[in-house]
């Protein structure tokens, strides 16, 4: 019975891995943070995502995501609010190229990264899809908790790899002008994800 359940969970785990490991707003921000602030200072940002997204999956599995299905206006409102926040984050990434020139430059705090997971309509779409993939079990709470545990386990290595990618870029490109170009490119990639919020 346990082996059958694990076999059924395989596609769910694979879906969560692919969606977590591939480029997106979170990974673009982590790359920029790793490049500008290093791994040590980016840990709160990583932790905010690693805890926030599984909680989003948990709430979605418990039925909260149905609100966006029942009321499309709520989803549009979230998309508009999320767009504004993404533009703000893109501005921060673009201007993080020269920390000495920008007093108080810092990576995202835990609570900021955590909160962003609930403003990202793309994250809600992913959460709703994953929730429908989980095999029927003893109840919605069990299914949601398993989904949350899968996401929490998978998130950490994926997020750390993207941060280390940013750290590696920083070591390769020490010149401020090159770093600024990379930061602006990452900011542009972040802005490019905005249309997906309105699908």
- Convert the pLDDT of each residue in 20-69 to its tens digit: 888 788 998 999 999 889 999 999 999 999 999 999 988 887 877 666 66
The predicted structure's pLDDT at residue 6 = 58
The predicted structure's pLDDT at residue 140 = 64
The predicted structure's pLDDT at residue 158 = 95
The predicted structure's pLDDT at residue 159 = 97
The predicted structure's pLDDT at residue 101 = 45
**CA nearest 155: which of 62, 74, 48?**
48
Q: Give the tokens for residue 199.
A: 């699908």
- Please say if the pLDDT value at position 192 is more than 90: no
The predicted structure's pLDDT at residue 186 = 82
Q: What value does the mean pLDDT take over residues 165-193?
A: 82
**CA nearest 36: which of 186, 195, 191?**
186
The predicted structure's pLDDT at residue 138 = 60
Average pLDDT, whole number, for the chain?
A: 80
The predicted structure's pLDDT at residue 2 = 47
Identify which has the larger pLDDT, 20 or 158. Answer: 158
Q: What value does the mean pLDDT take over residues 74-96?
A: 78
- Convert the pLDDT of each residue in 89-135 to its tens digit: 888 888 775 554 455 678 999 999 999 998 876 777 778 777 767 66
3-state secondary structure 53-113: HHHHHHHHHCCCCHHHHHCHHHHHHHHHHHHHHHHHHHHHHHCCCCCCCCCCCCCCCHHHH
- Please say if the pLDDT value at position 167 is more than 50: yes
pTM of the entire predicted model: 0.78
């Amino acid at each position: 019975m346990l082996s059958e359940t694990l076999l059924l969970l395989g596609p769910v785990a694979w879906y969560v891995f692919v969606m977590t490991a591939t480029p997106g707003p979170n990974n673009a921000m982590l790359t920029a943070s790793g490049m500008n602030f290093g791994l040590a200072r980016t840990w709160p940002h990583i932790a905010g995502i690693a805890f926030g997204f599984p909680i989003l999956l948990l709430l979605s599995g418990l039925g909260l995501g149905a609100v966006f299905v029942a009321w499309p206006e709520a989803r549009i409102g979230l998309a508009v609010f999320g767009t504004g926040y993404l533009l703000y984050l893109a501005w921060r990434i673009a201007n993080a190229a020269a920390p000495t020139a920008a007093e108080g430059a810092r990576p995202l705090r835990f609570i900021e990264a955590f909160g962003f997971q609930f403003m990202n309509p793309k994250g809600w779409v992913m959460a709703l899809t994953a929730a429908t993939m989980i095999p029927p079990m003893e109840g919605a709470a069990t299914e949601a908790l398993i989904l949350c545990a899968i996401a929490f386990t998978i998130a950490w290595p994926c997020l750390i790899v993207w941060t280390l990618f940013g750290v590696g870029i920083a070591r390769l490109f020490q010149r401020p002008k090159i770093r600024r170009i990379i930061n602006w490119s990452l900011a542009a990639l972040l802005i490019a994800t905005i249309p997906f919020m309105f699908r």
